Structure 1
Amino acid sequence: MSTSKDIDLSIEGMSCAACVNRIERAVRKLPGVENAQVNLATEQARVSVADDGPDAAALIAAVVQAGYQAHEMNPAAAAPEAVPANDWRELALVVGGGILTLILNLPMLTGLEIAPLWQWLLATPVQLLVGARFYAGAWAALKDRSANMDVLVAIGTSAAYGLSVYQALTVAHHAHLYFEAGATVIVLVRLGKWLEMRARRRASAAIRALHALRPATARVQRHGQEADIPVAQLRVGDRLVLRPGELIAADARVLEGRSQTDESMMTGESRPVDKAAGAALIGGSVNGSGLLLAEVTAVGTETVLAGIIRAVENAQLGKAPVQRMADRVTAVFVPVILLIALITLAGWLLAGAGTDQAIINAVAVLVIACPCALGLATPAAIMAGTGTAARQGILIRDVEALELLHSVQAIAFDKTGTLTEGKPRLVSQQTFTGSAAEHLRLAAAMQKGSEHPLAKAVLDAAAGQALPTAVDMQAVPGQGVQAEIDGARYVLGNRQLLAAHGITPEGGVAEQAEGHSLAWLARVAPTPALLGLFAFGDALKPEAAAAVAQLHAQQLRVLMLSGDNVGSAEKVAATLGIREVHAGLSPTDKAAIVARLHGEGVRVAMVGDGINDAPALAAADVGIAMGSGTDVAMHTAGVTLMRGDPRLLAGAIDISRRTWRKILQNLFWAFIFNVAGIPLAAFGKLNPMIAGAMMAVSSVFVVSNALLLTRWKSGAQHA
């Protein structure tokens, strides 16, 4: 079966959404490329290729052929520095050009005159050196038979510069020259791009902060000796020596010692988390005041931290449907603007205006229409929103989940581990035949190795007892487990499981009324018999009631879909204020209810934490997993709440809504700057200098507007 892989590239030289379209087209032409997504805000590309498709070198060659620079990104490498060296070179060019341009504008500011020769000497370095990137970008675009922002700026400023040279050489010295107009546009646009780059890097601060959690070295214990080694050399099974205050180099399990760790960067949990023997450690968290000896359980790209970074990058690299629409508009936008500029030129000439006035008005059209802001509107908001959410413990894995979450109408909760602690304990036993002690040993033998919360409760209750050997164990999702012990076949589970084997369960009425979860033990072969009943109690999460109240305040319909018995589910629902309860459900039943709601036109988010929730998570418009749950649930979900606080769900919906509003605001203002400015320029009401300033301001505005999302707090922070 053919499979695909993703190759991530860093792209240099993009100026607007038209550049994005051109790079995507160039890469998609290569045989074996299945998809290509380029993000202007992150300056990155993700290319999906078949196993026998092109390698990174071939993709880079295609990007270079399109007129840009690229290199492959190393997932294990550190994030780029906040202010790269070429930023200072860019700033030096802008400052130098700005000084020359300021001198050129002295006549307008002070009334002093500058001779045409001196104007030419001042303007030429700005036009040819500071403006060199526009010529390079325009040439690459025109070779590719396309157009972008660079084409608009290069043509517009060259027209102003050329007209001024012509006027200086052929007309009397009183002729009006436009050297300052072209120079001002170039400097303002480059200044805008520099400010935009700085703002974009602020938006990607979350990724850099996560990368910074990776220490360079780790102290390991080997053959009784301690030594510092590079983190890249760590292997699963190595023993880490973690001193107080150190960054934990990889995911691990505590073998000896007691301490607390700060996991706030990964989970948003502001309080230190107690750690003792057997506790899991997250690589990148900070050890507290205790000395720990721990065994490495995951390294490199398999760690929790790497997974968080990968998920945030996936969301930021992804392209929302609304962005695809903007890209389609941009694909025809630049050619249309070139046509409008020609019509403006011809119209003013036919109206009897001078050649210089006609050219200047056409230049203003070209400059004001640059679609930089349009290309940045959506990805800048997505970068800021997903990065901020990650810092608060809300991991949004893909951009579709971010876009859909804002419009969900109903939230469907699993019960155990989502609204309850997921740490039930055995509270009572009832026997129908045989002894309670023997029943407990049989149940524990059948549950050995299981990660289910009820299985752990049984195993805890039977701790220290000698257990018989169970063989041919089979988990029945949403119902229970069956196994063979000493030649007899047993089942342990709910009413549906027993009914499937022709056994009628008894008892449990009082326990069910108390809200306890029930599991019956029965022998199904060679002679069927109902043996006993186990009742489990599970405490509600302290934050659950507040979480449900927050969702109701957000005008959302809240449901509970539980595999537990009706009494237990209804008692929990009544305590929390959930009015719509479906209990005794199998995994397929949960998925079917979600699908039915979907069919009724209700957009549904499903919240769960177990294997039995995976089908419903996949069926929902948006699947939301608890970070304390199983890997299957987290891999199926589009959103993961990194700590077990259900109040984060309201936060996830809130940040999605805010991000969506920012996207719409940015698109609106980007279109306003472009579309409203074009007729003003065409009718001579906007000179090129003001047009250049407006274009630069529009790009900085949309990125700065998106950055307001970085102030957001989830409302679920611990004191």
Structure 2
Amino acid sequence: MWCTSCALAVEGTVARHAGVESVSVHYPSATLWIAGEPRAIALETLAPRIKRLGYRLTALEPTSDTHARLEQESRYLSLRLAVGALFGMWTMLASIVIYAGALPDPTLERVLAWISGAFSLPVITFAGWPFYLAGWRTLRARRPGMDVLVSLGVLAAVGVSLGLLLRGSAEVYFDTAVMLIVLLLGGRLVETLCRHRGLKALDVLPSAAEEASVWRGEAWQTCALADIRPGERIRLTAGEPIPLDGVLETSAWVDTASLTGESLPRYVAASEEVYAGCRLSRAESTLVVTQAVGSRRLDQLREQMRHYQAQKGELQKLADRFAAWLSPAALAVGLATFPVALLLGLGVEEALVRALSVLVVACPCAVGLAVPLASLAGSGRLLQQGIALRDPAALERLAQVRTIAFDKTGTLTQGKPRLVRWQAREGGDKIAVKALARIAPCSTHPLAQALARWAEREAPTQAFEPEQIDDVPGQGVKVRLDGETLWLGSRAFLAHANIEVPAEAEQEDHAEASEVLLADAQGFLAGFYLFDTPYADTAQSLGALATAGYWVAMISGDRPGAVFAVADAVGLARSACYAERTPEAKARLLEGLPAPTLFVGDGVNDALSLAAADVGMAPANASPAAREGAAAHLLVPGIARLPQALRDARAARRVMVQNLVLSALYNTLALGLVIVMAIPPLVAVLAMVASSLSVTLNAARLAWREPPEEAVGEHSLSEDGTRVAQR
């Protein structure tokens, strides 16, 4: 596609196809997002329709192909710009000599005018060809855009000049046609470089190797990643990127910097999941694959970013609506200017020049570029901060957020609770540990998973198959196995099952710990008390958000003692903390907070709140359900990157609004001005190009601005596994 008008033409053509519900063509990333009936939106159905317009529709290209395509476009533009600048220079020089009256004889002026026209031919034909082609395509699609106006402006300038030459006049406008083409080509080249820079945000996500060593036939074999399936074992080498998502068979230190930006390696225990793109810091290990190529977290993040870039937010839709009526309106005004000027008593030559100026100055280049380039640059900035967007409107909504609510466990805290105390009914110690080892793995809650790891160390169990699992998100789990029923969850969960908990199970000295209760058919069996440590940077991040004017809250399903303990540790007022909230209560509470709201949560019990909030955000260790329901993903554990990301979102929206307002004002005022007074076509060209470059460079400020400096150093591990930072 050549410009935003091409995108609107393709969009309009596809939208008219029966069975299409919604379609969005995003010019900066050259992608199309479509929803509708399966047969209507199939590639083989749409590709022929697009081909008739002169475009090619294919499956989504890899990121590497996107870079290659943009580099090819840059070379294509550079060649045409070089030809235009070389020959256009002589056209301009001849025009300047004529305008200055430097020649003594009018005959020499006419000869020089013909020479000026001759030098303009390569510019008008070769350099300007893409404008004519795109203009014809948009006309065929019944969506005439800026390329139609540019083409008419160039052809009108040439036509008026030839008419004047044939009448014996040397006052030609070949320089107007040349300047229009050359300056627009220059603007397109700058715009392409900005698009390339914006799409390079996807390079922040690492790339894994193409092959891996897999255990097959009692031996290690090197196979292509695409041939490796879930359940197979692959060998990992220290320092090399992990190629596939999976579960480690042995504990290891894992460097997650390439995926999450963490500067320090993280200890990952055996049976814990790691993701493609991370690296082993020390010894070799083996991994049981859980996700094949295409389903890895890395692939999903890339897909989500491309999905986001293909759609449009409210400001982009507003800009498209403005550009959609501006081009036909400008075309109608330009064509009407000539007869109206004649009726007002102007001469034919002056009427033609006035109409030419209207066509040139009305090109909506700036309107088309106002929002998409800023949106692309803004989403790239957020990805550099460790936040991936999967909703097109999330960037704009993040910039308007007033309230930020956090879940506790796994969001503000590390999600790795440690058991500080436990007690069982009389004589039930061993029974409790064995029962816990069997029921805890059936829940995905962080507290249950921590208890499962502890119980496995205390009482290893054989693999078993539960007969029935009833998991109540945020409350607990009921499991039936081998004819026995077990309950694990909160005090309220057991009370709902009519299980009485003895008073001595509630200890004041552990009121700050999270409580998990276990019961069997005989009633209460054991109580477990765990404490989860907040991330080291949580207090600083929450302070920064409060200073920035956000209303910050914590909403948790845990007991008040545990919630308030974390609140005190991170400097959050207890009045802004809400404990013992069910998933439904969390969502209702969010709806009552000052909107727009941002909710950050990681568990299955947070899925409803993520949907209820204006923007839902899933942290790095979130459950699949939370990731699916979130509009944005934190790639880095903790919330340290959130304050800067919100500042970047506000900056991106400011640039969008600035560009949209400036471009709209320019086109409206310039069009009105050129109608009521005579403006030379060359001045109209310069004004139009200046407006396009202004919005492009304004958006480029976001893409080229350096990220804030962070304390980054080299890190290593001591012999005992202690993390050591070296400056």
Mark yes or no: TM-score above 0.5: yes
Q: Kindly state the Cα deviation for residue 377 of structure 1 after the two structures are TM-superposed.
A: 1.6
Aligned equivalent of 2:318, options 325, 340, 343 = 325
In the superposition, relative to structure 1, how do residues 689 and 240 fare at CA in structure 2: closer, same or farther (>3 Å)?
farther
Q: Are 1:550 and 1:647, in contact at CA under 8 Å, matched by a contact in 2?
A: no
Q: Are 1:608 and 1:633, in contact at CA under 8 Å, matched by a contact in 2?
A: yes
Which amino acid is 2:136 matched to? Answer: W
Aligned counterparts of 1:303 and 1:444: Cα–Cα separation in 2: 29
1:190-209 aligned at under 5 Å gives the runs 190-208=185-203
In the superposition, relative to structure 1, how do residues 684 and 64 fare at CA in structure 2: closer, same or farther (>3 Å)?
farther
Aligned equivalent of 1:251, options 235, 245, 254 = 245
Which amino acid is 1:592 matched to? Answer: R
Aligned to 1:133: 130
SS in 2 for 1:270: coil
Task: Indicate yes or no: 2:498 matched with 1:502.
Answer: yes
Aligned to 2:723: none
Aligned to 1:182: 177
Aligned to 2:716: none
Aligned counterparts of 2:559 and 2:267: Cα–Cα separation in 1: 34
1:371-390 aligned at under 5 Å gives the runs 371-390=364-383
CA offset digits 1:474-522 (Å, max 9, x no partner): 2222222223467554433222122213344324554466411112333
Which amino acid is 2:568 matched to? Answer: A
Q: Tell me whether 476-485 or 493-502 shows the greater mean CA deviation.
A: 476-485
CA offset digits 1:498-552 (Å, max 9, x no partner): 22133443245544664111123334x4x5x434322222222212211211221
Aligned to 1:625: 618
Q: Kindly state the Cα deviation for residue 236 of structure 1 after the two structures are TM-superposed.
A: 2.8
Aligned equivalent of 2:590, options 590, 594, 606 = 594
Q: Tell me whether 310-319 or 430-439 shows the greater mean CA deviation.
A: 430-439
Task: Indicate yes or no: 2:566 matched with 1:565.
Answer: no
Aligned equivalent of 2:538, options 515, 534, 544 = 544
Q: Kindly state the Cα deviation for residue 303 of structure 1 after the two structures are TM-superposed.
A: 0.8
Q: Are 1:268 and 1:393, in contact at CA under 8 Å, matched by a contact in 2?
A: yes
Task: Indicate yes or no: 2:477 matched with 1:481.
Answer: yes
Aligned equivalent of 2:513, options 495, 512, 516 = 516
Q: Kindly state the Cα deviation for residue 460 of structure 1 after the two structures are TM-superposed.
A: 3.2
Aligned counterparts of 1:498 and 1:229: Cα–Cα separation in 2: 50
Q: Tell me whether 234-243 or 558-567 shows the greater mean CA deviation.
A: 234-243
Aligned counterparts of 2:272 and 2:493: Cα–Cα separation in 1: 34
Which amino acid is 1:121 matched to? Answer: A
In the superposition, relative to structure 1, how do residues 668 and 198 fare at CA in structure 2: closer, same or farther (>3 Å)?
same
Aligned equivalent of 2:162, options 157, 165, 179 = 165
Q: Kindly state the Cα deviation for residue 635 of structure 1 after the two structures are TM-superposed.
A: 0.9
Aligned to 1:5: none
Aligned counterparts of 2:711 and 2:37: Cα–Cα separation in 1: 44
Aligned equivalent of 1:396, options 389, 413, 416 = 389
SS in 2 for 1:533: strand
Aligned counterparts of 1:140 and 1:78: Cα–Cα separation in 2: 25
Task: Indicate yes or no: 2:149 matched with 1:152.
Answer: yes
Q: Kindly state the Cα deviation for residue 659 of structure 1 after the two structures are TM-superposed.
A: 1.5
Aligned counterparts of 2:11 and 2:471: Cα–Cα separation in 1: 47
Q: Tell me whether 155-164 or 666-675 shows the greater mean CA deviation.
A: 666-675
Aligned equivalent of 2:639, options 636, 646, 649 = 646
Q: Kindly state the Cα deviation for residue 194 of structure 1 after the two structures are TM-superposed.
A: 2.1
CA offset digits 1:154-194 (Å, max 9, x no partner): 111111111111111222xx531111111221221122212
Aligned equivalent of 2:209, options 215, 219, 222 = 215
1:453-468 aligned at under 5 Å gives the runs 453-462=446-455, 463-465=457-459
In the superposition, relative to structure 1, how do residues 459 and 649 fare at CA in structure 2: closer, same or farther (>3 Å)?
same
Q: Kindly state the Cα deviation for residue 33 of structure 1 after the two structures are TM-superposed.
A: 2.0
Aligned equivalent of 1:610, options 582, 591, 603 = 603
Q: Tell me whether 289-298 or 122-131 shows the greater mean CA deviation.
A: 289-298
Q: Tell me whether 414-423 or 442-451 shows the greater mean CA deviation.
A: 442-451
Q: Kindly state the Cα deviation for residue 577 of structure 1 after the two structures are TM-superposed.
A: 1.8
Aligned to 1:102: 89
Q: Kindly state the Cα deviation for residue 685 of structure 1 after the two structures are TM-superposed.
A: 5.4
CA offset digits 1:318-372 (Å, max 9, x no partner): 1101211221121111111123223433444344433223222322221222112
Aligned equivalent of 1:582, options 578, 591, 607 = 578
Q: Kindly state the Cα deviation for residue 102 of structure 1 after the two structures are TM-superposed.
A: 1.0
SS in 2 for 1:296: strand
In the superposition, relative to structure 1, how do residues 300 and 188 fare at CA in structure 2: closer, same or farther (>3 Å)?
same
Task: Indicate yes or no: 2:419 matched with 1:426.
Answer: yes
Aligned to 1:70: 57
SS in 1 for 2:240: coil
Aligned to 2:22: 35
Which amino acid is 1:539 matched to? Answer: T
Aligned counterparts of 2:657 and 2:37: Cα–Cα separation in 1: 35
Aligned equivalent of 2:672, options 667, 673, 679 = 679
Aligned to 1:354: 347
Aligned equivalent of 1:705, options 685, 698, 701 = 698
Number of equivalenced pairs: 696
Aligned to 1:231: 225
Task: Indicate yes or no: 2:446 matched with 1:435.
Answer: no
In the superposition, relative to structure 1, how do residues 419 and 274 fare at CA in structure 2: closer, same or farther (>3 Å)?
closer
Which amino acid is 1:246 matched to? Answer: E
In the superposition, relative to structure 1, how do residues 355 and 391 fare at CA in structure 2: closer, same or farther (>3 Å)?
same
Aligned counterparts of 1:166 and 1:488: Cα–Cα separation in 2: 98
SS in 2 for 1:519: strand
Structure 1, unaligned stretches of length 5 or more?
1-11
Q: Tell me whether 292-301 or 575-584 shows the greater mean CA deviation.
A: 292-301
Which amino acid is 2:562 matched to? Answer: S
Aligned counterparts of 2:231 and 2:415: Cα–Cα separation in 1: 29
SS in 1 for 2:68: coil
Q: Are 1:406 and 1:653, in contact at CA under 8 Å, matched by a contact in 2?
A: yes
In the superposition, relative to structure 1, how do residues 532 and 131 fare at CA in structure 2: closer, same or farther (>3 Å)?
closer
Q: Are 1:388 and 1:712, in contact at CA under 8 Å, matched by a contact in 2?
A: no
Q: Kindly state the Cα deviation for residue 215 of structure 1 after the two structures are TM-superposed.
A: 3.3
Aligned counterparts of 2:211 and 2:328: Cα–Cα separation in 1: 54
Aligned counterparts of 1:566 and 1:274: Cα–Cα separation in 2: 30
Aligned equivalent of 1:299, options 292, 296, 307 = 292
Which amino acid is 1:384 matched to? Answer: A
Normalised by the length of structure 1, the TM-score is 0.89
Q: Kindly state the Cα deviation for residue 713 of structure 1 after the two structures are TM-superposed.
A: 3.4
Aligned equivalent of 1:57, options 5, 27, 44 = 44
In the superposition, relative to structure 1, how do residues 443 and 707 fare at CA in structure 2: closer, same or farther (>3 Å)?
same
Aligned counterparts of 1:84 and 1:512: Cα–Cα separation in 2: 65
Q: Kindly state the Cα deviation for residue 683 of structure 1 after the two structures are TM-superposed.
A: 4.1
Aligned equivalent of 2:114, options 114, 117, 120 = 117
SS in 2 for 1:416: helix
Aligned to 2:439: 446
In the superposition, relative to structure 1, how do residues 419 and 494 fare at CA in structure 2: closer, same or farther (>3 Å)?
same
Q: Tell me whether 119-128 or 252-261 shows the greater mean CA deviation.
A: 252-261
What is the RMSD of the two structures over their aligned residues, measured on CA atoms? 2.8
Q: Kindly state the Cα deviation for residue 408 of structure 1 after the two structures are TM-superposed.
A: 1.8
CA offset digits 1:551-580 (Å, max 9, x no partner): 211211122211111122122223322332
In the superposition, relative to structure 1, how do residues 61 and 193 fare at CA in structure 2: closer, same or farther (>3 Å)?
same
Q: Are 2:95 and 2:113, in contact at CA under 8 Å, matched by a contact in 1?
A: no
Aligned to 2:331: 338
Aligned to 2:685: 692
Task: Indicate yes or no: 2:662 matched with 1:666.
Answer: no
In the superposition, relative to structure 1, how do residues 345 and 266 fare at CA in structure 2: closer, same or farther (>3 Å)?
farther
Aligned to 1:4: none
Q: Kindly state the Cα deviation for residue 69 of structure 1 after the two structures are TM-superposed.
A: 3.9
In the superposition, relative to structure 1, how do residues 316 and 608 fare at CA in structure 2: closer, same or farther (>3 Å)?
same
Aligned counterparts of 1:164 and 1:530: Cα–Cα separation in 2: 97
In the superposition, relative to structure 1, how do residues 79 and 532 fare at CA in structure 2: closer, same or farther (>3 Å)?
same
